[in-house]
Amino acid sequence: MGIEMLHVASFKAGAILLFGLFFYDIFWVFGTDVMTTVAKSIDAPILLMFPQDLLAHGWQKASKHGMLGLGDIVIPGIFIALLRRFDAHIFEKDTTKQKPRYYFAATMIAYTVGLFATIAIMHHFKAAQPALLYLVPACLITPLALSLIRGEFSQLWNYSEEHITERFDSIKKAEKEKIENANQKKNKQAKKTN
């Protein structure tokens, strides 16, 4: 729901958001114990827990758990969704339809690899890890490298979703006018009957 409801306005905005959260996550996990303390004390569906001592004790008796916060899924997910819309937008503009875009698929695979790297490092060091330390480079470097290879860096870097916002605003305005017209007709009919 969060990925569907929230949008980043442009690739640049998404990159800045991820870059800022990269340092935020590192500071709050490695610099203090606040993030892990809060995550362990909140009894709400905001994180995924998986056993770290699964191989040693089995599924039933596992006692130590690694945690992955909901933000580690939603924030990169919002950025990856932007890349999906970028793929569709560029494909619509391509008159030849011969150059399919793979930014979404490539970044989704990179995100999955980053997620497995996070879990593997958590298992190896038996300590909390800032997931965005591994996920942000995976989500940023992959589309940027792909755009450089394909010669589309400028298109990707300057991609903005103002066209979506403008279309949404025009639809909203048309719906509002339709409701106002319907209300005016009702008022006129009510005056005629009185």
Summarised one tens digit per residue, pLDDT across range 130-164 is 889 999 999 999 999 999 999 999 999 999 987 66
Question: 87 an active-site residue?
Answer: no
Question: 94 an active-site residue?
Answer: no
Percent of the chain whose pLDDT exceeds 70: 75
Assessment of whether the complete model's pTM goes beyond 0.75: no
The residues facing 10 across adjacent strands are 160
Write down the catalytic residue from 33, 43, 53, 72. 72
Q: Dihedral sign, CA of 107, 128, 15, 48?
A: positive
At 178 the pLDDT is 85
Q: Residues for the chain: how many in total?
A: 194
Q: For the chain, how big is the Rg over CA atoms in Å?
A: 23
| Residue-wise pLDDT tens digits, 29-67 | 888 887 767 666 766 666 776 666 556 666 566 666 667
- Give the SS3 label for residue 51: strand
Average pLDDT over residues 183-187: 82
At 98 the pLDDT is 62
At 53 the pLDDT is 59
> Residue 1 pLDDT more than 70?
yes
Write down the catalytic residue from 25, 43, 87, 94. 25
| Residue-wise pLDDT tens digits, 69-127 | 788 888 999 999 999 989 887 766 666 656 677 899 999 999 999 998 988 888 788 77
Structure-block tokens of residue 175: 């719906």
Structure-block tokens of residue 6: 């929230």
